[in-house]
Amino acid sequence: MTLILDIVLRLAVWLLLAPLLPGIINKVKAWVAGRRGPPVLQLYYDLAKLWRKGVVLSTLASPGFVAGPAVAWVALTGAAMLMPLGPAGSVVSFNGDVLLLIYLLALARFCTVWAAMETGSAFEGMGAAREVSYAVLAEVAIIAAVLSLSVETGSVSLVTMLSPSLGTGAVLLAAGLFTVLLAENCRVPFDDPNTHLELTMIHEVMVLDHSGPPLAAVLHGASVKLLLFTVLLVQAVLPMGELSPLGAIAALAAGVLVVTVGVGLAESLLARLAFRRVPLLLTTAFLFCLFALLVAWKGGAE
Amino acid sequence: MSGGVWMIGHPLLNLLIGLAMGLNLLALGSSRLPSIIRAMSVQGMLLGLMPLLLESANLDWRIILVVLATIVGKGLVIPGLLRRAMRAANIEREIQPFLGYVPSLLLGAGGTIAAVALARALPLMPEHAGSLLVPGAIASVLTGFILMIGRVRAISQVCGYLILENGIYLFGLLLIHSTPLLVESGILLDVTVGVFIIGLIVDRIQRAFDSLDTRKLNTLRE
């Protein structure tokens, strides 16, 4: 009984809090630009509105067009369930659950790309190709980060892995994971979530032809993914083992807030990169994670 | 060892060397010449500070003089000369290097990791074992080689040469007690004069060929 209560509570926290993050990012951007900006709860209103609307289906599209966003949303929610939340741990934890997390993220991406290809539109295909080619590089970086954490703690289970120690390795890992977060969630140096020019979009162009509840699933899934990466980054860098449970939760929440504001600042202060410069930045992120791995390996042997 | 405290494994020293290794990769990954020059000069200044840390127990005026000379020479004079040559030649960017930025960055990172692995296998003196001095030196030498081989512009090749020299200087820090300071100052003077001459040559090449592409310099003509 407590297990079911635990799962329901976690689902509520993840699903209800996730749309807050894009709202905070937009508020920070508006604040830097000197505008009033949309309300922080804007994404909740958007989701409610989209949920009530009907769906426009192309005669070309197979059921995969609707199934893609649904499966992606479920995969992202499942990945969120695997992620431990500070002292509360996670619902299910087993050896190698970190690999399942990475594969669930890959499955979500595959389904989004699949649904994009279903429309038969050239723009969607272009966005899908970009998304996948950047994901290849970002995935290498995240696997290097996971390796460095597992070498440092000698474990392949998320609950025990995410207990880092402060040091050079943590700084490198933070830089690498933050860049991966920006790339994976299509934030500014890689993609501009506000752009409305199909030629330059990555994530947004893939969901151009979705409408109604499937679009709501895509948007909500994206916000869950953003929260997932922020929580991963905070827990991979901030040692919270010695804090009291309440203090650890507060530290986690503060860390998530700091990272979100950081994303907003990066978005207001940086310009987006030309497409051909993106692989260089992603390679840099990979190298940050690789050198964190080197520090973990060298430090562990001494 | 003679009375002085060996500070080879000092964490601050390792941090400085780690930063120098990061600057190596920055130089490999950037396409703009000013940022390569900046990476090289900051690296030179970081290395210039190191004798202070190594010799913090028995500082005397000669060491402070060498530190000052290194910082001014590598951090201000040489980059100044290079920047002037760059302005005279009116170029800002490396175009179409032999080796792309991502491959050279990966090569440099692989070299750095190999250097760390190699340094553990080398029969070093026990007091040098925990330090990043040897891996940092090997990594800088490799970075210098990659820059000299992979780039087309004469100025980025000179930066590669200077980063290579920084690596050799790091090696020299291992022997700081047995190398006379005269040798250090001699090397510094040589490098400065070398860069001075290269600055002049770059200007002449630019006037004669209207370009600094070293690929155009490989055939002899009457």
In a domain, B4, yes or no: no
In a domain, A2, yes or no: no
In a domain, A210, yes or no: yes
Full domain range(s) for residue A285? 17-28+40-297
In a domain, B222, yes or no: no
Is the pLDDT confidence value at B222 over 70?
Answer: no
Is the pLDDT confidence value at B203 over 80?
Answer: no
pTM: 0.85
Give the mean pLDDT of chain B. Answer: 81
Residue A291 contacts B, CB cutoff 8 Å: yes
CA distances from A33 to A37, A41, A246 (A): 9, 19, 36
Arithmetic mean of pLDDT, A121-145 = 89
Using DSSP's 3-state secondary structure scheme, residue A227 falls into: helix
Q: Which amino acid is at A264?
A: G
In a domain, A128, yes or no: yes
In a domain, A221, yes or no: yes
Residue B140: both structure tokens together? 């800088």
Arithmetic mean of pLDDT, B113-137 = 82
- Contact list, A287 vs chain B (CB under 8 Å): 25, 105-106, 109
Note the pLDDT of residue B89. Answer: 76
pLDDT band for position A49 (50/70/90)? Answer: very high
Full domain range(s) for residue B98? 11-217
Residue B171 contacts A, CB cutoff 8 Å: no
Residue A298: both structure tokens together? 């060298």
Residue B106 contacts A, CB cutoff 8 Å: yes
The packing angle between helices B78-89 and B33-54, to 10°, is 170
Task: State residue B32 phi and psi, 5-degree precision.
Answer: -90, 135
In a domain, A4, yes or no: no
Cβ of A279 within 8 Å of Cβ of B102? The answer is yes
pLDDT in tens, B143-183: 999 998 988 877 888 889 889 988 888 888 877 767 667 77
The minimal CB distance from B102 to the residues A168, A283, A291 is found for: A283
Note the pLDDT of residue A182. Answer: 92
How many angstroms away from the CA of A294 is the closest CA of chain B? Answer: 7
Note the pLDDT of residue A232. Answer: 93
Arithmetic mean of pLDDT, B186-210 = 78
Q: How far apart are CA B221 and CA B216, in angstroms?
A: 11
In a domain, B195, yes or no: yes
Answer whether A294's CB lies under 8 Å from A152's CB.
Answer: no
In terms of average pLDDT, the best of A192-196, B1-5, B189-193 is B189-193
- Contact list, B113 vs chain A (CB under 8 Å): 290, 294
C-alpha triplet B111, A277, A272: angle, nearest 5°: 135
In a domain, A121, yes or no: yes
Using DSSP's 3-state secondary structure scheme, residue A166 falls into: coil
pLDDT in tens, A73-114: 999 999 999 998 877 778 888 888 899 999 999 999 999 999
Q: What DSSP assignment string belongs to chain A?
A: -HHHHHHHHHHHHHHHHTTHHHHHHHHHHHHHHT---S-TTHHHHHHHHHHHS-----SS--THHHHHHHHHHHHHHHHHHHS--GGG--SS--TTHHHHHHHHHHHHHHHHHHHHHHT--HHHHHHHHHHHHHHHHHHHHHHHHHHHHHHHHT--SHHHH-----SHHHHHHHHHHHHHHHHHTT-TTT--TT---GGG-SHHHHTTT--HHHHHHHHHHHHHHHHHHHHHHHHHHS--TTS-HHHHHHHHHHHHHHHHHHHHHHHHHPPPPPGGGHHHHHHHHHHHHHHHHHHHHHHHH-
C-alpha triplet A86, A92, A93: angle, nearest 5°: 75
**Residue in this structure with the two tokens 């760390």, named with its chain if needed:** B116
In a domain, A302, yes or no: no
CA distances from A297 to A151, A164, A286, B23, B131 (A): 6, 14, 16, 22, 15
In a domain, B210, yes or no: yes
Q: Give me the number of domains chain B comprises.
A: 1
Q: State the count of interchain CB pairs (< 8 A) between A and B.
A: 26
pLDDT band for position A285 (50/70/90)? Answer: very high
pLDDT band for position B38 (50/70/90)? Answer: very high
Q: Give me the number of domains chain A comprises.
A: 1
- Contact list, A294 vs chain B (CB under 8 Å): 113, 116
Note the pLDDT of residue B180. Answer: 67
